[in-house]
Amino acid sequence: MRFSRVVLVAALIAAVSGCTTIKGWIAKAGSSNDNVHAPVKLTPVTPSISVRRVWNRSVGKGERLLGLRDKPAIDGGRVYVEEAYGPGLYAIDLATGRDVWHQNTKLRLTGGPAAGGGVVVAGSVNGDVLAVAADSGAERWRAKLSSEIISTPLIAGDVVVVRTGDGRVAALGLADGKRRWSFERQLPSLTLRGNPSPVLGANGLVYVGYEDGDLVALRATDGVKVWEQAVAQAEGRSDLDRLADIDGEVVASPDGVFAASYKGKVAALSPDNGSPMWSHSMTSYGGLARGGDTLFASDASGVVWALDRNTGNALWKQDGLGYRWLSTPAVQDGYIVVGDLEGYLHWLKPDTGAIVARDRIGGRHDAIRATPQVSSDGTLVAVTTKGRLAAYRIIGK
């Protein structure tokens, strides 16, 4: 893929300007014009499930080629979504797609909002953290952190855990925004665009993926590091060769923590001590989804994989979406859903990977890069890079 050339150009620019950490250049490789391999041409699908689009609307101009992967949040029958790199923060009725409230924050929002505990929290490219009331959008508090926030904050009990672009993690009080603890870690000199969102385990640990391929576990109460383990080794002669970022969704459950690295590994680690359980060779710039005892991932060449949770062995792969720059998968009513670079959503059968339904939200240059989100009642919400937001239900399975 041509993105390597783009990243190398970014490195040369950094050498001239004195910057040490590169963020933002992988985002340019988001359309068919940026692929060495042309996207696989879609073949017609005879639907074997009925998927209904419930509503479709605009939420600003979208992130375009910024590579932010800003995803919506769903909580309490509402969808919370930001106007990527813009000031708009929306609360939308999940059933109808209509505004409940719309707040002009006067910030350049990035990373996607988090919702819970009666609060919606969003970050900005300038390191601002904003909390508003979930029912009205009224501002509760603001805080300032050290660097851009391009991943979704994590609401963990009475704190909000935020990862910034310079490698720091901070916990802020959910009620007042005051800093409770912070954690700092050095980054490699060259990284891919994107930070994974922190995730909370049932054991009270917060898991954070890093650009050198390591996964770190921090105590949610005080930020103390409990363990650190490599998902993939950042090896090679050049900074480009050593790219090993964990950029996508990390899955945390009582029986394992699962993460994918761009260096070519998917790994399962023990939640309590980080000891490796298994690894599977795969290069992925996205993350993982779980359904029962199966993990689902999209690799860097557009192949969707199903892996056995206990062993990491491949159960099936779907290569009919090759080089279509797939989103991280989501699981809706048992079916696997991925978005692609031309605004299509594809529904896959969980036991075989067969494509059983398809619909299009965006256009040729209107990709679905953010992970689709699924509500507790089975409604899937997806957003495109040009700000089209749509909701889907599977009818009469």
pLDDT value, residue 284: 85
Name the residue ranges covered by the structural domains of the chain. Answer: 70-193
pLDDT computed for residue 83 by the predictor: 94
Structure confidence at residue 100 (pLDDT): 98
What pLDDT shows up at residue 56?
Answer: 97
Q: Which one-letter amino acid corresponds to residue 176?
A: D
Q: Tell me what pLDDT residue 285 has.
A: 82
CA 90, 147, 144, 120 dihedral sign is positive
**Of the candidates 87, 90, 68, 88, the residue with the CA atom closest to the CA atom of residue 79:** 90
70-193 CATH, one of 3.30.413.10, 3.40.50.300, 2.40.160.150, 2.40.128.630: 2.40.128.630
The pLDDT profile of the chain, 397 residues, written as one tens digit per residue, is 333 333 333 333 333 333 333 333 343 344 444 457 899 999 999 999 999 999 999 999 888 777 778 999 999 999 999 998 999 999 999 999 999 999 999 999 999 999 999 999 999 999 999 999 999 999 999 999 999 999 999 999 999 999 999 999 999 999 999 999 999 998 755 556 557 899 999 999 999 999 888 999 999 999 999 999 999 776 666 766 666 688 889 999 999 999 999 878 999 999 999 999 999 999 888 899 999 999 999 999 999 999 999 999 999 999 999 999 999 999 999 999 999 999 999 999 999 999 999 999 988 789 999 999 999 999 999 999 999 999 999 997 6
- Cβ atoms of 354 and 365 within 8 Å: the answer is no
What pLDDT does residue 247 have? 83
What is the model's pLDDT at position 17? 33
For residue 185, give Cα distances in angstroms to 24, 164, 214, 236: 20, 11, 11, 21
In three state form, how does the secondary structure of the chain look?
A: CCHHHHHHHHHHHHHHHCCCCCCCCHHHCCCHHHCCCCCCCCCCCCCCCEEEEEEEEECCCCCCCCCCCCCCEEECCEEEEECCCCCEEEEEECCCCCEEEEEECCCCEEEEEEEECCEEEEEECCCEEEEEECCCCCEEEEEECCCCCCCCCEEECCEEEEECCCCCEEEEECCCCCEEEEECCCCCCCCCCCCCCCEECCCCEEEEECCCCEEEEEECCCCCEEEEEECCCCCCCCCCCCCCCCCCCCEEECCEEEEEECCCEEEEECCCCCCEEEEEECCCCCCEEEECCEEEEECCCCCEEEEECCCCCEEEEECCCCCCCCCCCEEECCEEEEECCCCEEEEECCCCCCEEEEEECCCCCCCCCCCCEECCCCCEEEECCCCEEEEEEEECC
| Close Cβ partners of 117 (under 8 Å, ≥ 6 residues apart) | 155, 158, 174
Q: What's the pLDDT score for residue 40?
A: 96
pLDDT at 14: 34
